[in-house]
Structures are given as structure tokens and as C-alpha cells.
Amino acid sequence: MKHYKVAVIAGDGVGPEVLAEGMKVLRRIAELSGTFAVDFIEFPWGCEYYLKHGKMMDEDGMEKLKQFDAIYLGAVGYPGVPDHVSLGDLLLKIRRGFDQYVNLRPIQLLAGAPCPLKDIPREEIDMLVVRENSEGEYANVGARLYQGKPEEVVLQTGVFSRKGTERIIRYAYELARKNKKTLTSISKGNALGYSMVFWDEIFAEISKEYPDVEIHSYLVDAASMFFVKDPKRFQIVVTSNLFGDILTDLGAAIAGGMGLAAGANINPERNYPSMFEPIHGSAPDIAGKGLANPLAAIWSISQMLDFWGQETFGKTILEIIEQILVEKRILTPDLGGQAGTAAVGNEVVRLLEQKIK
Ligand code: NAD
Ligand code: IPM
Ligand code: MN
């Protein structure tokens, strides 16, 4: 029997609350499958750990994570520890260190999910954002000069390598070809005359290898407007690290909210583990109350199963999430319900038991 080993970094705030439900779901799927087993190893890293030990993860943390088939992450960042420290030394360190250069974020309006847009049929919000996840605006290269003086200057440089830009764009073309979808590049060449002009050139160069893929190109400001006004224009979207970050929170908002948005940080070559997470943060405003919506964290388990080649189970999870949204009996407050986090997880498990015989 295949054994998958999953490293769990529940992290801060609502992270542990929502991951508990995702683990519950994956554990039950493994039992019901009869064909694979899952071992979870939990790592206590996060802001509390930092306050006790002065570091976000163990010194040999990356070495420890290397041997896993996947990393399951909750959320990182909490008042009391500066965000650039907590995120830089844990979440972003893993994305970069394990070359998880593809961030796959589905923006899909499931039946029953609340959509703030007027009169939009749900089929019209169905895209997959392929976010560059290793460099760009997140390279964190910069300088602070003349600190405290009137002539103080701060530089924050975007780094776009040929290798890094080509590989993400090629990945997106491959996805579009395989799924017979259109591909849209979102950039900003009119203002960012180095990075985004380069991005656009590479997008055009690689298009020659994919004459079968219908392509489009948008400036990020206009794209944001069309995400809201006419989201059916977008199927597969490829974009830079920062634009992808912002566009996917906007995407989450039109597809039911942060409680439903999942993301997979993929190392396609499989040299290192990939990492699966809800895209929301630690939600300090609702943490500790048992009210966080675990469906995003559960959706990211579906992405993990897909990545392992267990797509049938991945699909079952999405069907169950949709059923829960349609039935509207057991929903957390962000979706207009009164149920708690654990009740939603239990309902997913109950429906799994009905579906997988
Ligand atoms: P956030 O995503 O934590 O919260 C934004 C809003 O969405 C809040 O009102 C929150 O209550 C709501 N929300 C988020 N997840 C929810 C859920 N599962 N169910 C119901 N409602 C939910 O964003 P923020 O407040 O800007 O950030 C809080 C902290 O999290 C910061 O330290 C930030 O840096 C960090 N952060 C971490 C990650 C990550 O680890 N992947 C992602 C984003 C933000
Ligand atoms: C996300 C988060 C992170 C990002 C932060 C917490 C560094 O917002 O995963 O979307 O910007 O990538
Ligand atoms: Mn984000």
C-alpha cells in the first residue's frame, strides 16, 4: 500500500483550526480508499515558536521537510511578530527554498457559493491563476540609503530571470494546451519598462511553440476591472508574483470569499516537496473562536490529492464542498451560516462516507 508522508505546519491564528479539519478529511479518505495511507508529522513552527525560540523554524527545518510527499500549511503571521520576519522566514522561505515556482490558485464559483457580482451565471467564473511564485517583486532585493535623512531613498527591486520567467509561462501554456483553454497573460508593460516588457516579450516568444493555444494579454489594472465586470474572459491566467497575489484575493472575493480559496505551491520537477494551503491568512479577528471556514483548507487537500495522481478523490472533495454550499445547512458565518469550523469538517467526512463505498 502506498504511504504518503505529509508535513503539517499549522502555524498561527486560524491555521491550526482549519488544518485540523483538512487532516480529518484526508485521514478518512485514506481509510475509505483502501489503497493508500497517510502519515502526518506536525511541526510547531510559527509566531508562538518564534516568541519562545527566536526563530520561525528549526535550523535544519528545510532538511527535515525535504523527505515529505507534501507540506500542508495553515497560515503564518500574527500581531506581535513583524510580518516580514514571520513570512520571510517560514512561508516564503519554503516556497523559494523548495523551488515551488508555480502557484496554482483556482477561482471557481461553485454552485451555492455567494457571489457579490450581479447576474453572473456561475459557469462564468471558472479560471485557474498560475502565479509565478519564486522571484519577481518578491525577490526581496533592495536597499535603504541615507536612513533618517531628508534624502532617504528605499529601493525594492523586482527580479525577473529568463529562466524564471520562461518556466512559469511555459508551464501555463502547457496547462492551456492540455485542458484546451485560453491563456491570458496579465502584466504591466506600459509602466514597468524593464520587468513587464521582458515578461511580455517572453510570453510572445513562447507563443510560437503553441500555435494551438488561444492567447490574450491584459494590463493588470484593466484585468482587475474585468475580473469583476466580465470574468468569463479568463480561463488560464499567468501572471507575476505580486500581481498574482493581489488578483487571487480579488478572485477569492468573487468566488465566495477567503474561506473558499485554495492554493498549491508546486515544484513541477518534484525535486522537492510541494506545499498546499488555503490562501487566506491567520485571520486574527476571528482566531480562537472556532468560526473559521475550513473549506479552503479542505479544497487544498483536493489539490494535494490531484498532485499525487489521486484525482478521483480530489474531485469527490470538490463535489462535497459544492453539496454543502447548495444545501446551506452547515456553513460558517462568513458564508451566512451559524456552524463552527469542526461541524463543517465533520459534515465533509459524513458525506465522504456516503460517497465512497
Ligand atoms: P486574512 O486572510 O487573515 O484575513 C482577511 C479577512 O478574511 C479577515 O476578515 C478574516 O476574518 C477573513 N478570513 C480569512 N480566512 C478566513 C476563513 N478561513 N474563514 C472565514 N473568514 C476568513 O488576511 P490579513 O488579515 O490581511 O492577514 C492576517 C495575517 O495573516 C497577517 O500576518 C498576514 O501577513 C498573514 N497572512 C498569511 C498568509 C499565509 O500564511 N499564507 C496569507 C495571507 C496573510
Ligand atoms: C499569500 C500571502 C503571502 C503572499 C504573504 C503572507 C507573504 O498573501 O499566500 O497570498 O503574498 O504570497
Ligand atoms: Mn495573498
Q: What is the CATH number of the domain that holds 192?
A: 3.40.718.10
Burial of 205 (0-12, 13-18, 19+ CB in 10 A): exposed
Residues 100 and 157 in one domain: no
Question: How far, in Å, from the CA of 30 to the mean position of ligand 3?
Answer: 30
Report how far residue 289's alpha carbon sits from residue 134's, in angstroms, rounded to the nearest whole number. Answer: 34
Q: Which domain holds residue 41?
A: 1-106+257-357
Using a 6 Å cutoff on CB, does residue 292 contact ligand 1?
A: yes
Residues 119 and 228 in one domain: yes
Residues 269 and 157 in one domain: no
Of 230, 255, 280, the one marking the end of a domain is: 255
Residues around ion ligand 3, judged by CB within 5 A, are 245
Using a 6 Å cutoff on CB, does residue 75 contact ligand 1?
A: yes
Residues 51 and 61 in one domain: yes
pLDDT in tens, 257-295: 999 999 999 999 999 999 999 999 999 999 999 999 999
Residue 347 is predicted with a pLDDT of 98
- pLDDT bin (cut points 50, 70, 90) of residue 237 is very high
Check if the beta carbon of residue 47 is closer than 8 Å to that of residue 76.
yes
Report how far residue 182's alpha carbon sits from residue 130's, in angstroms, rounded to the nearest whole number. Answer: 13
Mean pLDDT of the chain: 98
Report how far residue 171's alpha carbon sits from residue 168's, in angstroms, rounded to the nearest whole number. Answer: 5
Residues 145 and 199 in one domain: yes
Residue 357 is predicted with a pLDDT of 78
Of 212, 235, 255, the one marking the end of a domain is: 255
Residue nearest to atom 23 of ligand 1 (CA): 281
pLDDT in tens, 306-354: 999 999 999 999 999 999 999 999 999 999 999 999 999 999 999 999 9
pLDDT in tens, 7-22: 999 999 999 999 999 9
Residues 143 and 247 in one domain: yes
Residues 234 and 314 in one domain: no
Using a 6 Å cutoff on CB, does residue 282 contact ligand 1?
A: yes
Interval 75-85 mean pLDDT: 97
Residues 121 and 243 in one domain: yes
Residues 245 and 261 in one domain: no
Of 206, 221, 255, the one marking the end of a domain is: 255
Interval 41-67 mean pLDDT: 98
Residues 248 and 319 in one domain: no
- The number of folded domains in the chain is 2
Residue 233 is predicted with a pLDDT of 98
Pocket test for ligand 1, best of 245, 260, 282, 341 (most atoms within 8 A of CB): 282
Residue 143 is predicted with a pLDDT of 98
Residues 169 and 219 in one domain: yes
Residues 290 and 337 in one domain: yes
